[in-house]
A and B are shown apart, each in its own frame.
Chain A
Amino acid sequence: MNLRDTPEEAAFRAELRAWIEESLTDEVRRGRFEEAGRDWSRKLYEGGYAGLTWPKEYGGAGAPYSHQAIFLEEMARAEAPSHLGVIGLGMAGPTIIAHGTEEQKRARLEAILSTEEIWCQGFSEPGAGSDLSAVRTSAIEHGDHFVVNGQKVWSSFAHIADWCILVTRSDPESQRHAGLTYLIVNMHSPGVEVRPLRQITGEAEFNEIFFTDVEVPVENVLGDVGDGWAVAMTTLLHERGTLGFALTAALESQIRKLIALAKERGATEVQRDAIAREWIGLQAVRYTTYRSLTTLIKTGIPGPEGSGAKLWWSEANQRVTKLALELLGPEAQILGGGDRNGGYWQHQQLRSRGNTIEAGTSEILRNIIAERVLGLPRSR
């Protein structure tokens, strides 16, 4: 056991820290994510920091997972925005690497890293939320293409996306997990309509996507026709499995801001206790992610202990943002008017309510831990 950087890791960290220092301008820091994010993502790509663990032949760096962990830690320390291609990097890319044809890999992967192509996810439907096997969006094979009809919901980035990873029902007679097909769909195709969904924060980060007789070439099937469930599980494994470091980085950034706020405004004994509690929880998530990563490096599969990271993080982020509002005191309700916090915590607090719903509700995650990790009898 050695929790410190190896000389090789330390060298990577030092080089990265110098690069961030030079590249991260105030413009990027202050800018709106969707505009400033694209330039910043492009810089990350050109610096060789996008797709660190992806194979070199598809534009990645072929680096070990430990570099990805260091990258996310340093990005959090510098309070740098993330790469704009969140869905592409975290979900679409890894699924294409695992199941894609050589042509799909060559055509799509590098464009994710360079942000030439932005991706969104078409999994959830009005009638299929936690129960993904209930999807009804249909894809009927018609010669050299599929005809897609249906509606998807809760799709982040769909309003700026070029591509969508789409779970469809290709066999109308099928039930549940059978008869599903995983497609990659060009969002600029005729018949694709995106409608923003306004959230409790007032902004529209998610969208509905309507598909009306959208033609998708058969070469855009990912994996095999009818095997969409297994391909979708690869996507979700990446969403729930390898995000531990990103979550740690996000929580670290919040807790740094929280501590700065407490120092500036002062904190009661009860609030000091609560801040210490959250900082301790952050260290716990960080080192649990390290343990899971060590298992991933040694065996190729992340350790089961990492399965709780998202569950803990989401509830911690809700507590942290609420604590920040409490530190603001009566000003907690004030959004503008020269308040130095500029509505940041108010927005974060409302946004945090989504954390226990998106990417697997806390209830579903507890079911998964109970059944797959603890081996308890199945509830369904």
Chain B
Amino acid sequence: MDFAFTQEQEELRREARAFLEENPEAQLAELRELGWLGVSVPEERGGGGLSFLDEAILFEEAGRALYSGPFLTTAVVLPALPEVDEQAWSVEVDGFVPDLLHVDRVLTEGMQSVPAEGETLATMDETRPLGRLTSSDGEAVDGEWEPVRLRLLAALALEAVGIAQRALELGIEYVSEREQFGKKIGTYQAVSHPLADTYVETELARSLAYWAAFCVAEDDEQAPVAVPAAKAFCAETAVAACERSIQVHGGIGFTWEHPLHRYYKRAQWLDAFGGHAAVQRAVVAAALLD
């Protein structure tokens, strides 16, 4: 039993964090140049020959940086293709396609590769609009949807961990500086204890997300339960982390100019897409009780 990333993986995390801090709006092509696409696809199919665990680090860091391009969807589709291509991909889940106008093709739940044509709808999270395809006719892609779905939900869970972590950091920074009644507000337990709860939940969420990533990477028999478990817990943790952080920020946390609402909206997007936490827990409950 060894539940830690390797030194190379920790190095990848440092590089990813540094790059995304400098270039939060990097184009997908730039990420491709960095080798971030097709990381877990075998080399003979044009990929990086690494594991989903390496990709997991990138999803978490993309969440932390609130990265908005179609990186996540492209990354989870590429292993399903015969060969890694240069296109931007999205997926259609429950009739919705993230970033429809920013991708070339869409993989549907019926394993059809469809041109990215349709209408885009306004979303709470403006940085990740959802679209509807006008046609679902395309070319069949060999293989099953289930592995794509598991990669997708695990990636959403990992991104949610990055969101929760950043919301916690913003809260810590603020309450360590802000003074009221002559004291740093972080000294008040009514302020510090909710942040302690966020810390505990975020670490629990991180463990579940890595467990799910391990199960996906190893094609473990627990994956169909581990992945929804992680998706449910991580998304709810991210939402609660943002809510507590907004609360301890007071009025400033409620303003448009403060970045917290963007994290909050992303957290809610992550919870909703692919099924809210309660939907994921119903899958877990069926595995436990039926």
A, B co-complexed: yes
Residues of A within 8 A of B (CB): 1-6, 9, 66, 69, 259, 262-263, 267, 272-273, 275-277, 279-281, 283-288, 290-291, 293-295, 298, 305, 307-308, 311-312, 363, 365-367, 369-371, 373-379
Are A294 and B3 neighbours in the complex by a CB distance under 8 Å?
A: yes
Are A273 and B189 neighbours in the complex by a CB distance under 8 Å?
A: no
Query: Within the assembled complex, what's the spacing in Å between the Cα atoms of A267 and B197?
Result: 29
Q: Whose C-beta in chain B lies nearest to the C-beta of A267?
A: B289
Interface of A is mostly: helix
Are B189 and A367 neighbours in the complex by a CB distance under 8 Å?
A: yes
Are B284 and A276 neighbours in the complex by a CB distance under 8 Å?
A: yes
B104 to chain A, nearest CB (A): 33
Q: Whose C-beta in chain B lies nearest to the C-beta of A70?
A: B1
Partner of B285, one of A276, A290, A307: A276
Q: Whose C-beta in chain A lies nearest to the C-beta of B229?
A: A280
Q: Number of B interface residues, CB 8 Å?
A: 44
Is B255 an interface residue when CB atoms closer than 8 A count as contact? no
- Given that A273-B282, A275-B288, A295-B4 are contacting pairs, would A288 and B207 also be in contact in the complex, using a CB cutoff of 8 Å? yes
Are B289 and A369 neighbours in the complex by a CB distance under 8 Å?
A: no
Q: Quick one: CB contact mask for B161-195 with A, threshold 8 Å, 1 for yes?
A: 00000001000100110000001101111001101
Instruction: Pull 20 A–B residue pairs with CB atoms less than 8 Å apart, ordered by A.
Output: A1-B4, A1-B6, A2-B2, A3-B3, A5-B1, A275-B285, A280-B233, A280-B281, A284-B204, A291-B3, A291-B210, A293-B1, A294-B1, A298-B4, A305-B206, A307-B200, A373-B199, A376-B187, A376-B192, A379-B192
Query: Within the assembled complex, what's the spacing in Å between the Cα atoms of A377 and B175?
Result: 9
Are A377 and B176 neighbours in the complex by a CB distance under 8 Å?
A: yes
Q: Whose C-beta in chain A lies nearest to the C-beta of B226?
A: A283
Are A369 and B214 neighbours in the complex by a CB distance under 8 Å?
A: no
Query: Within the assembled complex, what's the spacing in Å between the Cα atoms of A355 and B188?
Result: 25
Are B208 and A280 neighbours in the complex by a CB distance under 8 Å?
A: yes
B128 to chain A, nearest CB (A): 25
Are B281 and A290 neighbours in the complex by a CB distance under 8 Å?
A: no
Q: Whose C-beta in chain B lies nearest to the C-beta of A284?
A: B204
Given contacts A276-B282, A277-B281, 10 further A-B contacts (CB under 8 A): A69-B1, A272-B282, A276-B288, A280-B208, A287-B208, A367-B193, A370-B189, A374-B192, A374-B195, A374-B199
A214 to chain B, nearest CB (A): 38
Partner of B211, one of A283, A293, A379: A283
Is B272 an interface residue when CB atoms closer than 8 A count as contact? no
Are A280 and B188 neighbours in the complex by a CB distance under 8 Å?
A: no
Are A284 and B284 neighbours in the complex by a CB distance under 8 Å?
A: no
Are A291 and B4 neighbours in the complex by a CB distance under 8 Å?
A: yes
Query: Within the assembled complex, what's the spacing in Å between the Cα atoms of A312 and B237?
Result: 14
Q: A311 — which chain B residues lie within 8 A by C-beta? A: 200
- Given that A276-B281, A311-B200 are contacting pairs, would A379 and B3 also be in contact in the complex, using a CB cutoff of 8 Å? no
Partner of B4, one of A281, A294, A376: A294
Are A287 and B172 neighbours in the complex by a CB distance under 8 Å?
A: no
- Residues of B4-48 contacting chain A, CB below 8 A: 4-6
A17 to chain B, nearest CB (A): 16
Is B252 an interface residue when CB atoms closer than 8 A count as contact? no
Query: Within the assembled complex, what's the spacing in Å between the Cα atoms of A66 and B3?
Result: 12
Query: Within the assembled complex, what's the spacing in Å between the Cα atoms of A267 and B290?
Result: 11
Are A308 and B285 neighbours in the complex by a CB distance under 8 Å?
A: no
Q: A263 — which chain B residues lie within 8 A by C-beta? A: 289
B41 to chain A, nearest CB (A): 19
Are B203 and A305 neighbours in the complex by a CB distance under 8 Å?
A: yes
Are A369 and B199 neighbours in the complex by a CB distance under 8 Å?
A: yes
Q: Whose C-beta in chain B lies nearest to the C-beta of A66?
A: B1
Q: B124 — which chain A residues lie within 8 A by C-beta? A: none
Is B196 an interface residue when CB atoms closer than 8 A count as contact? yes
Are B233 and A284 neighbours in the complex by a CB distance under 8 Å?
A: yes
A370 to chain B, nearest CB (A): 4
Q: A267 — which chain B residues lie within 8 A by C-beta? A: 289
Q: Whose C-beta in chain B lies nearest to the C-beta of A367?
A: B189
Q: B188 — which chain A residues lie within 8 A by C-beta? A: 379
Q: B281 — which chain A residues lie within 8 A by C-beta? A: 273, 276-277, 280
Partner of B208, one of A284, A293, A363: A284
Query: Within the assembled complex, what's the spacing in Å between the Cα atoms of A272 and B278?
Result: 10
Partner of B288, one of A259, A363, A366, A379: A259
Partner of A376, one of B176, B205, B214: B176
Partner of A370, one of B192, B206, B278, B282: B192
Q: B193 — which chain A residues lie within 8 A by C-beta? A: 363, 366-367, 370
Q: Quick one: CB contact mask for B192-228 with A, threshold 8 Å, 1 for yes?
A: 1101110110011111101100100000000000100
Q: Whose C-beta in chain A lies nearest to the C-beta of B169?
A: A374
Are A4 and B288 neighbours in the complex by a CB distance under 8 Å?
A: no
Query: Within the assembled complex, what's the spacing in Å between the Cα atoms of A365 and B192?
Result: 12
Q: B152 — which chain A residues lie within 8 A by C-beta? A: none
Are A1 and B282 neighbours in the complex by a CB distance under 8 Å?
A: no
Which of B192, B196, B204, B232 is most buried by chain A, counting CB atoms within 10 A of its CB? B196
